[in-house]
Amino acid sequence: MTIEDDLVRIAEQEKVLAFDSFDLTTAWQLGKLLQELATERGLGVAIDVSLHSMPVFYAALPGVTPDNVQWVRRKRNMVFRYSKSSYASGLKLKSDGKTIETNGLSSADYAAHGGSFPINVKGTGCIGAVTVSGLPQRDDHNLAVEALALILAKDLDSLRLG
């Protein structure tokens, strides 16, 4: 797939993977589902579910390092800044021949790498982010999308990046 193909697919993911409503219980369920998927697969990832106003769920599975904590924060900051997935932001920058710094942001605080996905509520927009760190960026993104598709009962095969 090309960058353009991925950007179209991610835009579709962001549209389809929107909640009718989202509360702290839903946030916990999403985080727990990700933790279960990662544990079953033996994946060493950090998982974060945050609303703009507060952290709600965090888990660090065996294999995670302190670096993953910073990757989570920096990827989540991309979602909070642009209200789109950190992977989409990174792909768009790459296709435009730009970097975070050319957008006036610091790489110490922002990471345009896959793994953080907006928590969108229909009629409201982005209220938070779900973030995975520890795998290659495309895999981090796909794991977050998989959990969202499962919790929202959406067809994962039609949404997953190839």
For 112-141, what is each residue's pLDDT tens digit? 999 999 999 999 999 999 999 999 999 999
162 pLDDT band, cuts 50/70/90, is: confident
Whether pLDDT at 1 is above 90: no
Give me the DSSP letters along 78-131.
HHHHHSS-HHHHHHHHHHTT--TGGGT--TTT---SS-EEEEEETTTEEEEEEE
Kindly indicate the confidence band of residue 88, based on its pLDDT and cuts at 50, 70 and 90: very high
CATH architecture of 3-151: 2-Layer Sandwich (3.30)
Tell me what pLDDT residue 135 has.
98
What is the rounded average pLDDT for all residues in the chain?
Answer: 97
Decide if 142 contacts 161 (C-beta within 8 A): yes
Domains of the chain: which residue ranges? 3-151
Q: Rounded to two decimals, what is the model's pTM?
A: 0.96
